[in-house]
Amino acid sequence: MTNSKLKLGRYSVGVGDRFAHQAKAQLQACVKALQEGAEVVPVWNKSNREHTIIGSEPVSTRLAADAAVKALHWELPYYLDADHITLETVGRFLAPCDFFTIDVADSIGHPAPAAEIESFVGRHPELVGSIELAGADEPFAITRETLRGTACKFLAAVKKAGEVYRNVESAKGAGNFISEVSMDETDRAQSPVELLIILAAIADEGIPVETIAPKFSGRFNKGVDYAGHGSQFEREMGLDVAAIAYAVKQYGLPADLKLSIHSGSDKFSIYPAIYRTMQRTGAGAHLKTAGTTWLEELIGLAEAGGEGLALAKEVYAEALAHREELCAPYANVIDIDPRKLPSAETVRGWSSAQYTSALRHVERDPGYNPSVRQLLHVGFKIAAKMGPRYLSLLEANEAVIARNVTENLFDRHIAPVFLGR
């Protein structure tokens, strides 16, 4: 397979910029990381779903990122991620993007033809038995039945990824883009053993995968902290890293292959575990965040007071009124307790400080309200509908919003994951 000519590097961060107004403030967080000794490559990600809800085109992300890179004289790589694309949706991302997150979660569990499964099992006798992996404290024990069962569950998905990969390759040319395979948007976590078998299948398909996004144990709800056992996550991540290192050697996958953690943003309680695992193993990671920046726009507007605060309250009132419709597409990644949502009337009476402390993700703040945060997280459609009225307030309050965006991305995400503090 042709490895990518492009380099993602050991550390990278996926940032979402729903309204394409914060690229500079986001890049500023990477500039700060560089000043403090960590090269963290920015990747602007926006899914087809987000573009559709907002009514934007992928080229707008490209223009915003290029302008930010120019303004801040950023000389390291940066990428544009066609996030969670499929064969059906990839088209409009081909020209502006150079990073493709190939989402094949929907094909998991649909068995490939029996002959293909048998041929995969026959091709991989090395996967049967006890496999010693460097850095893992116990061997992977895989029976022929486990191998066949796993192939049954994932082979069709990997074949699908191969189809999408070849589609992108024929448009952009081999080596001119970064490939990620994502399996995170599904019900069940993939075990490290499953990950190893999946990687063998990815290598068979000839996909020069640079990042792989499994679903980890625990819940990764949008914009709020991890729900699950941190120690289990750390163990699982360590074994995943060992499986990746093994697969790189065994199957000739790109040497830089690393985990992509589709965090849903703000997984503060496991960030130290991610840092420790990378330090211990020498592995890198791609930390994908998304809606956390849109919430900083609201926080900045609320902090600005006046018209900004009024609009932030209006977004809440509208989001509350359309809660079910807004939450439906995100049902498996949010956990809102409707009883914890204040009425629109109550919020109308809030000061700037009350609004920002309900929304800003600071767990020790008694005013912090994760239900409000998650509702507003999915409420970007309301702001999208406001159109120029929302965008002109973003522009009028650029300084206060940018400060919040940079501080959130650097202090709460980049520093704990890549700098260990």
User: Which residues make up the interface to Zn ion (CB under 5 A)?
Assistant: 184, 262
Q: Least distance in Å: CB of 188 to Zn ion?
A: 15
Q: Least distance in Å: CB of 23 to Zn ion?
A: 21
Which residue matches tokens 């307030």?
Answer: 393
Residue (45 or 406) nearer to Zn ion, CB? 45
Residue (51 or 262) nearer to Zn ion, CB? 262
Report which DSSP code applies to 229.
-
Residue (374 or 404) nearer to Zn ion, CB? 374
Q: Is 142 helix (H, G, I), strand (E, B) or coil?
A: strand
C-beta neighbour count of 86 within 10 angstroms: 17
Residue (184 or 296) nearer to Zn ion, CB? 184
Residue (184 or 314) nearer to Zn ion, CB? 184
Beta bridge partners of 260: 286
CB 395 within 8 A of CB 21: yes
Q: Least distance in Å: CB of 421 to Zn ion?
A: 26
Distance, CA of 172 to CA of 167 (rounded, Å): 9
C-beta neighbour count of 20 within 10 angstroms: 20
Q: Least distance in Å: CB of 401 to Zn ion?
A: 25
Residue (14 or 238) nearer to Zn ion, CB? 14
Q: Least distance in Å: CB of 45 to Zn ion?
A: 9
Distance, CA of 287 to CA of 29 (rounded, Å): 14
Phi, psi angles (nearest 5°) of residue 165? -55, -50
Which residue matches tokens 């066949």?
Answer: 148
Tokens (6 digits) for 324: 């079910």
Cα atoms found within 13 Å of the Cα of residue 111, Cβ hemisphere only? 10
Q: Least distance in Å: CB of 236 to Zn ion?
A: 17
